[in-house]
Structure 1
Amino acid sequence: MNSGLIQDRETPRRRNERVSIISTNDACEHAASLRDWSQDYLQLSQGAFEGEIIEATVGPMQVFKETIRQSVDEKASPRCDSYTIGVPASVTPNGYWQGRHLERDSLITLCPNEELHFRTPMESTILVTVIDCNAFDSFAQDSAAVDVLPLISKSHAAALPGDAAQTYRVMLETVLSSVASTPEIFEHSASAQSVAETVMNASLNALRARSQETESPRTSHSVQRAIVERARSYVIANRENPPTVAELSSYLKMSRRGLHHAFINVLGINITTFLRYVRLHGVRKELLRATPEDSISGIACKWGFWHMGMFSSYYKCLFGETPSSTLRRTSNFSKVASRRHH
């Protein structure tokens, strides 16, 4: 696929105090690249990862466009005391935002200090703005005499009328395009304030235009998501003695059938695959920050992989490269960074 994304790990990133344009080819690296967010990604589909973030921050507001090509389970938290509002730019089937099925004209939201759970589809581009609560509350009161929290609490992924979704989408695209090509906009307080007010006004209009259609209950999905998160924490805590499905079932006080359905419904993979993927991601994260003293076999063994041939096969199948390729890229990147530093 000709994605147009930068594939070379050594390609410099464009980032300054206000504007970032970052291309990635690793889910773990991508998770750490979005400014002011705490994120943990678990790649669910197999093959090489491609991602891109275009992000701008001005005063009380952050706007970004995130593209991901692979299905990923995201657990993330934006900056504190902020509202999160966005809309997909493009999306393929089987994406879920906070347990709600994601459509192209969905308005996606998070309440202040709420943790995000986003299972991306195979290809996903979303446009998102994160706005300081006090700033947005004041703007909404001054401009429309409305309260933001009741509007944003209605649903995490509710349908927008098509024209309203497109208007919001185009406005966020225009803002990002303008600041990416002309970052000096933010050097002038008047234009920076104008950008912030434009985004807040468009976000408020999108919230008010949200469909009032009856929403399907998500109780079952919420319970199953909680099961997945407890399982993930347990596997990571016991990485040197990986639990079996039976042990995990006992720990969670659930039947194997119930576990199977929870993981299929939430992540689209079975429990055995999930256990292996969590451990493979643990290895990959360590390889990405490995020192010359670290060995692939030592790291793999620490995460419960005892057969190196089988481990390498699993690793390449999921990430699209061998463990040694990851380690080699990490080493080359460190050398380049060291030369630039000196």
Structure 2
Amino acid sequence: MTATSSPPARQAHPLRRVTRSRDADEQAHNLSQWDQRYDQLSPGSFEGSVTELWLPRTQVFVETANRALRQTCAAWPRSVWFGIPAARDGMMSMGGKPLSSRAVCIRDGGAEFDLLTAPDFNLFGIVVDRLAFADYLDSTAHQDLDRLLLQGDVRNLEPGRKESLCATLAGILADAENPETPGTDADALQERIFDALADMLLGRDTVPVPTTRTRLIHQTTVDRVRQYVLDNPEHPPAIPELCAHLHLSRRALQNCFEDITGMPPLAYMRSLRLNAVRRALRYGSGHRPISSIAYDWGFTHMSQFARDYKRLFGELPSDSLRQG
């Protein structure tokens, strides 16, 4: 992935925008200053939106999507990302760690991480300038940001605290629509963000979420399979080939995928390849025939390919090509 750029220069007023998309990768590109790639995993036409707000040293956003996604993400450098998903227990994961309904995720900017999201997901995201937030914590609470972040990248909040935090963020986004109202200038809104995040980090009832060794092994296996598929696009591996490559039994491989993705390995690999074809159709040069692009990713039976493509994306490959 390419390096992300820095946040916009300091501004006196909030910068707010809303974007909507009907393609997962288009949605990934709509989030400013992030480096992302999305793969759609659940079938049907995609609909998503991003509402984002830029403050002097902070980005706040709400992202929604109606389909399950595998997201590879990196926020802008020298920042810290806080992700607050609205999801039922176990329906989402980050880096192989299952996210409960009370989970908050934390990751350093500039470093890639993976999210597996549920259908019809909704996520609050806050990205803060690392140095500015560290100075705020030091001056207001005499706390060290680096030490606080060592407590874990997934944490559970007590019932009611996560809802309160989301309500605070929703109120800030709403207030940013009325910049002439007293107390809604960019600096005031940013201080409210910093205060809410500090309260969450310093709360005694914030509990780090451990990861089992088995779960980490399963995540590593899925990551290796994904890379193997991407490195060998014209020759999608069969299950016996994968088992031999990974030194796993068929049952062990199945367990890894069911635990991490909730999908059989063949279905997951097919989704990766179909998403790769869709990117080429929508963002490629447009001069190559659909069949050639499909062959590039190991689809040799065009009628079956077209059926699989329409089942996953809700449209034919020719529709995607015309939109691209």
- Band of TM-score, shorter chain: 0.7 to 0.9
**Is the 1:82–1:130 Cα contact (8 Å) retained in structure 2?**
yes
Q: How far off is 1:158 after superposition?
A: 2.1
Shift of 1:285: 0.3
The 5 Å alignment of 1:214-233 reads 215-233=209-227
Alignment of 1:182-331 (within 5 A): 182=178, 191-209=185-203, 211=205, 213=207, 215-330=209-324
8 Å Cα contact 1:92/1:124 also seen in 2: no
| Counterpart Cα distance in 2 of 1:323 and 1:113 | 34
Structure 2 residue matching 1:205: 3-state secondary structure: helix
2:25 is aligned with 1:28: yes
Deviation at 1:35, TM superposition (A): 1.1
Q: After TM superposition, give the deviation of residue 166 of structure 1 in Å.
A: 2.2
Deviation per residue, 1:257-289 (Å, 9 max, x gap): 222111111111111112211110110000111
1:18-65: per-residue Cα shift (whole Å, max 9, x none)?
333111111121122211111122222111111110111223211110
Query: Does the CA contact (< 8 Å) of 2:157 and 2:207 recur in 1?
Result: no
Q: Distance between the aligned counterparts of 1:183 and 1:266, measured in 2? A: 44
Match of 2:41 in 1: 44
Give unmatched runs, 5+ long, in structure 1. Answer: 1-16, 331-342
Question: How far off its partner does 1:217 sit?
Answer: 3.4
Within 2, Cα distance between the matches of 1:239 and 1:18? 41
For residues 278-311 of structure 1, the C-alpha deviation after alignment (integer angstroms, 9 at most, x for no partner) is 1101100001114342221111111111111100
Q: For residue 95 of structure 1, what is the amino acid of its counterpart? A: M
> 1:108 Cα shift?
2.0
Q: Distance in 1 between matches of 2:174 and 2:208?
A: 36
Whole-Å separation in 2 of the counterparts to 1:55 and 1:221: 33
> 1: distance between equivalents of 2:278 and 2:44?
14
Root mean square deviation of aligned Cα: 2.4
Is residue 107–residue 210 contact of structure 1 (8 Å, CA) maintained in 2?
no
Alignment identity in percent? 29
Q: 1:247 to 1:183 in 2, by over 3 A?
A: farther
Q: State the AA in 2 paired with 1:326.
A: S
Q: Within the alignment, does 1:161 sit opposite 2:155 as a pair?
A: no
Matching residue's letter, 1:120: T
Q: Secondary structure at the match of 2:65?
A: strand
Tell me, in whole angstroms, the C-alpha distance in 2 between the residues paired with 1:298 and 1:329: 18
Q: Output the TM-score relative to the length of structure 2.
A: 0.88
Amino acid at match of 2:257: F
Kindly state the Cα deviation for residue 193 of structure 1 after the two structures are TM-superposed.
1.7
Which secondary structure state, in structure 2, belongs to the residue aligned with residue 162 of structure 1? coil
Q: How many residues align?
A: 311
Q: Which amino acid aligns with 1:298?
A: S
Q: Is the 1:101–1:157 contact (alpha carbons within 8 Å) kept by the matching residues of 2?
A: no
Alignment deviations for residues 149-207 of structure 1 (CA, whole Å, 9 cap, x no partner): 2323323332212332222111111122232x24689xx9x922222211111111011
Distance 1:150 1:243, change over 3 A: same
Pick the structure with more helix per residue: 1
Q: TM-score, normalised by structure 1?
A: 0.83
Q: 1:215 to 1:303 in 2, by over 3 A?
A: closer
Counterpart residue identity of residue 321, structure 1 = E
Distance apart, 1:112 and its partner CA: 4.8
